Amino acid sequence: MTPDDPDLARAFETTWPAAEYADHGALRSGRGLGAGGRVSSTRALSPDWSAEDIAMAEARHRDWDQRPMFRLPDSDQRLSEALTARGYRRETPTAIMAAESAALVRAYPAMTTFAIWPALQIQRDIWAAGNISGARQAVMDRIALPRTTLLGRIDDRAAAAAFVAVDGEVAMIHAIEVAPQFRRRGMAGWLIARAAEWAAGHGATRLGLAVSRANTGARASYDMLGFREIGGYGYWAKD
């Protein structure tokens, strides 16, 4: 997704992996097992792909009982044009953002955020209520990297959950979910601060995340916390 930043590009993939992968020439497809487009899409490993590679990727998706889907960086005009010619349409434009871990660490109220592994049932319930299904939660369990979940609490009640994993000097935070009744009270910022603190303790100098461009509220919050956009991508799919 970010060819000018190979460390973050690698962590983007390894901290939220598909159940399995299959390569077709210069393309790589992920089997998501119902865990969403991020892990159920095909991406280019190099610009040397061919029309045959695309056809093979489409066949693999059908074999896996997935809708054919490709994940392209915003800069990949050649592949986007090839997919458009085959009837694909762009979906879910997404920004990749990152910040220095040390800059994100800040004071947060005592007893509000906890790093926990494995996830508690209450965290899984918060995720499920926010459309982070059991299939998506299963992604967290198969990651072979330093990882943890985060539990947020307000008014002595479980209020939020998130997941963070580290690959080298880059950590990625995923699945940030704050229960509706606790939103707009600073919980997401406290989770980010705790994630950065935990990540720094595991050698990460940067914390990254992905956010839908349609989610303007979350994007504004990340901007205020000091994240900056370092890349973007979208999904290309057809029925």
**Domain residue ranges in the chain:** 6-94, 98-232
Neighbours of 115 (CB within 10 A): 15
Between 3.40.630.30, 3.40.50.720, 3.40.50.620, 1.10.3720.10, what CATH number should domain 98-232 receive?
Answer: 3.40.630.30
Stretch 16-25: mean pLDDT = 98
pLDDT of 3 reads: 62
Q: Report the predicted TM-score, pTM, of the whole model to 2 decimal places.
A: 0.96
Stretch 128-143: mean pLDDT = 97
Per the CB < 8 A criterion, the answer to whether 92 and 215 are in contact is: no
Stretch 200-204: mean pLDDT = 97
Per the CB < 8 A criterion, the answer to whether 159 and 182 are in contact is: yes
Stretch 141-159: mean pLDDT = 97
pLDDT of 1 reads: 62
Q: pLDDT tens digit string along 54-107? A: 999 999 999 999 999 999 999 999 999 999 999 999 999 999 999 999 999 998
Stretch 111-135: mean pLDDT = 97
Mean pLDDT, all residues of the chain = 96
Q: How confident is the model at residue 2 (pLDDT cuts 50, 70, 90)?
A: low
Per the CB < 8 A criterion, the answer to whether 175 and 212 are in contact is: no
Percentage of residues in the chain with pLDDT exceeding 90?
96
User: 53-66: b or e for each residue (b if 16 or more CB lie within 10 Å)?
Assistant: bbebbbebbeebeb
pLDDT of 15 reads: 98
Asked if the model's pLDDT at residue 140 lies above 90, the reply is yes
Helix axes 121-129, 134-141, angle to 10 degrees: 130
Q: Please, what sign has the CA dihedral across residues 166, 147, 172, 64?
A: positive
Stretch 119-141: mean pLDDT = 97
pLDDT of 122 reads: 98
